[in-house]
Amino acid sequence: MERVSRLSSELVRCVLICSQWNLSFPSAKSEKLFSSTFSKEFILFICKFSFSFYLQLAGKMTWPKDVGILAVDFAFPSQYVDQEELELYDMSKNVKGVQPGKYTKGLCQNKMGFTTDREDIQALCLTVVSSLIEKYNISYSDIGHLEVGTETIVDKSKKTNACYGGTAALFNAINWIESSSWDGRYALVVAADIAVYDKGDQENASARPTGGAGAVAMLIGPYAPLVIERGLRGNHFDHAFDFYKPDFHSEYPYFDSKLTIECYLKALDNCYQMYLQKVSKQTGKPIHECGLNALDAIVFHAPFGKLVQKAFARLTLHEYINAPKEVKNDFEGFSQFQNLALEDTYFNASLEKFLVNYSNKLFVKKTLPSLFMSNQIGNMYTASVYAGLVAYLTQPGLKASDFEDKRIGMFSYGSGYASSFYSIKFTSSSNLQFILDNLSEVRPKLEQRRKVDPKQFNEILDQKEETCHLGRYALVVAADIAVYDKGDQENASARPTGGAGAVAMLIGPYAPLVIERGNRFIKS
């Protein structure tokens, strides 16, 4: 019976997969096949079916269909500092370069989330993962592959991924599912970071307002409502020391803000053009029809909002560059910049102002909605672009049908540097509404956060700086084995005074056994 049970289970499994892949099922010519549980005819039928089944399956199974995001969740700290208040506080401390509107209008940031010394990157990651598992009612055993992207604490070398780590993790997860290694289970991607900077002083400008913290978890698999479009990925990698963390004793990075902006925009130029070329090749459309008009929204890695607005504006320059000669005149005002090489445009103030004004309506429609989390929480490094996706999905009043068949562009950048521009296509899957329902609590939770005044905020970060990479407790272990010679007729034995033992003590503050301070006498 055990043998028959195994055969029957195999038959049922094959029937189910046949249904899934639209394969033909070889019919039984006679009911006698099943009249005897041990008949030769039944065994031959199973063998014939299996052979037919696997031949068909080999021809059908090229790629898992619609691989992408099946579930997503978002976590962030429970406290924040108001950027306008921080701006006024820094002005009172005469921090270099701070003027009214520097953080709010200049950077386009309103609030910044931050962690205390009681919440580290591991806590953020575990929080968002456990929340996703619970909301979507899945088991950890359903996950066959885990990818984590973060640059917080763990890696102190020069970054080749940095903020790109979340996207690298996503692509790795997709590659696993589309490979021979896939075992049919989900992949889990976690992107999380705590972005924190030095506070600056009278001689050094402060980058602290561009900090933030957050974590995004994504469940990856086939038949997803958010499909990562296969083959449509523009990449650019280069070497630059624009941002890195060489100090083992500090959370703070070393960075060159001007170089970072140049690298970011250069990466966008290269990624976007490569993406357009691939779309054109895949669809057969001319390259000028594959850009902004073909994308319903564009989500960017967001160190701060103003850089994203400038980056989006730059895409209209590419629209002009790619346009056929006969329609270039439709781009009013662009001809004055037609002789500029791209590498000469990164800090051209007149071009930048022109592009921002020209593209403003499109920016408000296609990208501004995705900047909500960045505006309210700040930079989240690896999680930044995916927090932008969460912001886009949680726009008030929208439901799943509002996203159906839409295509959005995603630009990911990480210092060092690495970058990609790719696209996500929304399907008509009912699972999308399930995602939206599970994300419905994100915006209300933002309103439930506790506001911390700038003075206390800086004190908290000062405390974190003092205890960076230091454990809260010290472990003291005293251990020995005492053993002596056994003695003889001429020498007394000390062996009875031997022994062995070990004592471990955890040393820290607020202890029940207090070592009195100052009451020590040491003589050597």
- pLDDT of 1: 43
Q: Does residue 397 contact residue 178 with C-beta atoms inside 8 Å? A: no
pLDDT at 17: 45
Is 249 assigned a catalytic role? no
Q: Which of 48, 64, 59 is nearest to 23 (CA)?
A: 59
How far is 393 from 431, CA to CA, in rounded Å? 13
Burial of 489 (C-beta count, 10 Å sphere; 0-12/13-18/19+): exposed
Q: What pLDDT, on a 0 to 100 scale, did the predictor assign at position 28? A: 40
Q: What share of the chain is helix, strand, coil (3-state, %, to 5)?
A: 45, 20, 35
pLDDT at 155: 54
Counting Cα atoms < 13 Å in the Cβ hemisphere of 400 gives: 15
Neighbour order of strands in the sheet with 68-75: 143-149, 186-195, 212-221, 68-75, 226-237, 418-426, 407-414, 297-300
Structural tokens at position 460: 């908290």
Q: What region does 18 belong to: left with phi over 0, alpha with psi -120 to 50, or beta?
A: alpha
Q: How far apart are CA 149 and CA 380, in angstroms?
A: 12
Q: Which of 14, 18, 108, 163 is catalytic?
A: 163
The crossing angle, in degrees rounded to 10, of helices 384-393 and 165-177 is: 70
Whole-model pTM: value is 0.79
151 is catalytic: yes
Rounded CA-CA distance 6/325 in Å is 68
Asked if 411 contacts 385 with a C-beta cutoff of 8 angstroms, the reply is yes
How many helical (H) and strand (E) elements, i.e. helices and strands, does the chain have?
A: 13, 15
Could you tell me the mean pLDDT of each successive run of 10 residues in the chain, 524 residues long? 44 46 43 45 52 47 85 97 96 92 94 93 96 95 95 63 92 96 96 92 88 97 96 95 82 89 96 97 95 96 96 96 92 92 92 97 98 97 97 96 95 95 89 94 97 96 80 81 87 88 87 80 60
pLDDT of residue 252: 87
The 10 Å Cβ neighbour count of residue 414 is: 29
Ligand-binding annotation for 445, yes or no, is no
Shortest CA distance to 365 belongs to which of 440, 289, 293?
Answer: 293
Annotated active-site residue in 87, 151, 229, 251: 151
Answer yes or no: 108 catalytic: no
Contacts of 240 (CB under 8 A, 6+ apart): 259, 263, 415, 416, 417
Confidence at residue 472, expressed as pLDDT on a 0 to 100 scale? 66
Residues facing residue 243 across a β-bridge: 255
The backbone torsions φ and ψ at residue 165, rounded to the nearest 5 degrees and listed phi first, read: -55, -35
CA dihedral 245, 247, 253, 254 (to 10 degrees): -90
Cα torsion through 179, 183, 186, 190, rounded to 10: -60
Answer whether 148's CB lies under 8 Å from 413's CB: no
Q: Which amino acid, one-letter code, is at 468?
A: C
What sections of 142-252 are H helices per DSSP? 165-177
> How many Cβ atoms are within 10 Å of 422's Cβ, its own excluded?
23
Residue 464 annotated as part of some ligand binding site = no
